[in-house]
Amino acid sequence: MSNSRNLPLSERMDELLLERALFGLSDAEENELGEQRESNTARDYELAAASVALALAAERPQPLNDALRAKLEAGAKAYYAAAATASAAAPRAAPKLKLVPPEPAPRPSAFSYAGWVAAAAAAALAVIAWWPESQPLAPTVGQARAELLARANVTKVEAKGQEQFAPGTSGDIVWSNSEQTGFIRLVGAPVNDPKVQQYQLWIFDEAQEHPVDGGVFDVNSAGEVLIPIDAKLRVTKPTLFAITLEKPGGVVVSDRQRIAIVAPIS
């Protein structure tokens, strides 16, 4: 129960509302709260408390890196070894038992609890901001493309824009049949409006009756763009890569009326 009955009315109401959202109120406190029980302010406190709880529950611990884990384990072993040595050397005295009834722990006030939550949240944010620096970062698209190019049996073909839809566009397509993955690199491709049309890659394969859908993508800025290939079927022997302009979301089978870029395999 709150011990703040001498607070001004507005502050007392705020404290009761916050305590109600976090801990619940006794019957006497509910009666004191009175008309504020179903107010928008009461619901605001409850929603805020629920949001904090969900945010804390959603955080998942990250695995320790090997160096930090080894350092912690070494420190723990040293501590327990020293404690065991000291315990063995110290004389043992008969324990003296004195039973004292425990005093009930006072419930913290809502405002002190809210201050603790704020401090804990700040500490958590500081750890989250620091933690990624100690973890390996995922490779960028450019790094992944460079790594693929360094492997054996990788196909790289030059891409050229067609005069009607992508004049002056150049680039290349890198493809690995063994890994069924690859990348498109385009330079100077026209920026598209995804609400009107999108680019779609097609992989012509000797083993397929129709070209394999390689994924839909957008060009958002001038200059160089890199796009991972997302082949919807397994490719056996590619002979040509073609990029068409299609309706938003792409199509299952292209009519090939708007071929913007081609990259034939010689």
Structure-model confidence comparison of residues 94 and 236, the more confident one: 236
Count the Cβ atoms, other than its own, within 10 Å of residue 205: 20
Q: Which residues of 75-114 are buried (b: 16+ CB within 10 A; e: fewer)?
A: eeeeeeeeeeeeeeeeeeeeeeeeeeeeeeeeeebbeebb
Q: Tokens in use for 181? A: 């993955």
pLDDT band at 12; cut points 50, 70, 90: confident
Phi, psi of 202, rounded to the nearest 5 degrees: -125, 135
Q: For 131, which DSSP code?
A: G
Domains and CATH numbers, the chain: 1-88+109-136 (no CATH), 141-264 (2.60.40)
Instruction: Identify the top-confidence range among 38-42, 72-76, 124-128, 201-205.
Output: 201-205
Whether pTM exceeds 0.75: no
* Size of the chain in residues: 266
Q: For 62, which DSSP code?
A: P
Q: Which of 230, 168, 157, 237 is nearest to 199 (CA)?
A: 230
Q: Is the pLDDT of residue 122 over 60?
A: no
pLDDT band at 171; cut points 50, 70, 90: very high
pLDDT band at 53; cut points 50, 70, 90: low
| Mean pLDDT within 122-128 | 50
